[in-house]
Structure 1
Amino acid sequence: MSIKNKIRTFFTMDDEYEYVEEQQQEDESTSSSDQKQSRQNVVNLKSMQHTPSKVVLSEPRSYGEAQEIADNIVNRRAVVINLQRVDRVQAKRIVDFLSGTVYAINGDIQKLGADTFLCTPDNVNVSGSITDTLIEDDEFEKGW
């Protein structure tokens, strides 16, 4: 081997050695960041169990109270609304407003009775159904 080849070999080995060393340092830094991320993703199950869901009962007397009801829905609370104390026109406006609110947060609105509705955010699942056979003769039902 010539001196030229020895020098070239010497420098190429040096470059590879430095490259391997840098790669090991990068591997160590990524493994330590992975460990930090895994620690951050740990959730204490006891803390999750102590956050009870809330259901709000509301009996508005005017359309102006629809904003308070919508705020509860946006804050991820289920709301049962009794519209017996509101005239039919305002009740329809309230239901329309709350339908838009529920749609915006991917929730659901269900009719429970002639004047009663259930608005739920996306974190609440409702199962079952209520039949409308007894409600069909009600005047309020005909307006919807």
Structure 2
Amino acid sequence: MKMAKFLSNLFGMDDEDSAATDYYNQDQTAPVTTNNRKVVSINRGKSDLHTNGKIALFEPRIYGDAKEIANRLLDGQATIVNFSQMDPKIARKTVDFLNGAVFAIDGEIKRVGEQIFLCTPRNVEVSGKAAEDLAREHDSENF
């Protein structure tokens, strides 16, 4: 017995180590916490693939107005946005934000006037040569 204890101590296997090993081998449960974050599906407008026949018109003045435009797009509604009342630098940021929103819903954004954009969800098709010519004409201008 003394020999076994001597060998155990020699190799670092004493009673304290086995107690520590037993402690770490026990299953412990962690408290469960719930997270009350608001989650909004970006697909909420995709359930109805038929447009309701309405187009929302916006003339934003501040960057924060882009949230309402994006919400309309998420609901499946096309929007026309006139940036004539907005500072050009902020308008560029807003167009970038709307590009992201349109990308997320697999929609399109097209320039239809000098400072006017048409944002559509994926269930709305935009066709016409005038919009294409105007987009090419103004690619390097204002925004």
TM range (shorter): 0.5 to 0.7
Which residue is equivalent to 1:73?
73
Calculate the TM-score normalised by the size of structure 2.
Answer: 0.58
Which residue is equivalent to 1:63?
63
- After superposition, the Cα gap between the structure-2 partners of 1:51 and 1:129, relative to the gap in structure 1 and judged at 3 Å, is closer
Which residue is equivalent to 1:132?
134
The structure with the largest helix share of the pair is 1
Structure 1 ranges of 4+ moved more than 6 A: none
Q: Which amino acid aligns with 1:143?
A: N
CA displacement at 1:52 relative to structure 2: 3.1
Which residue is equivalent to 1:82?
82
Calculate the TM-score normalised by the size of structure 1.
Answer: 0.58
Which residue is equivalent to 1:94?
94
Which residue is equivalent to 2:42?
none
Q: What value does the CA root-mean-square deviation take over the aligned residues?
A: 2.5
CA displacement at 1:126 relative to structure 2: 1.1
Number of positions where the alignment pairs a residue of Structure 1 with one of Structure 2: 92
CA displacement at 1:141 relative to structure 2: 5.6
* Contact residue 114 and residue 141 of structure 1 kept, 8 A: no
Name the SS for the 2:80 alignment partner: strand
Alignment map for 1:40-51 (pairs within 5 Å)? none
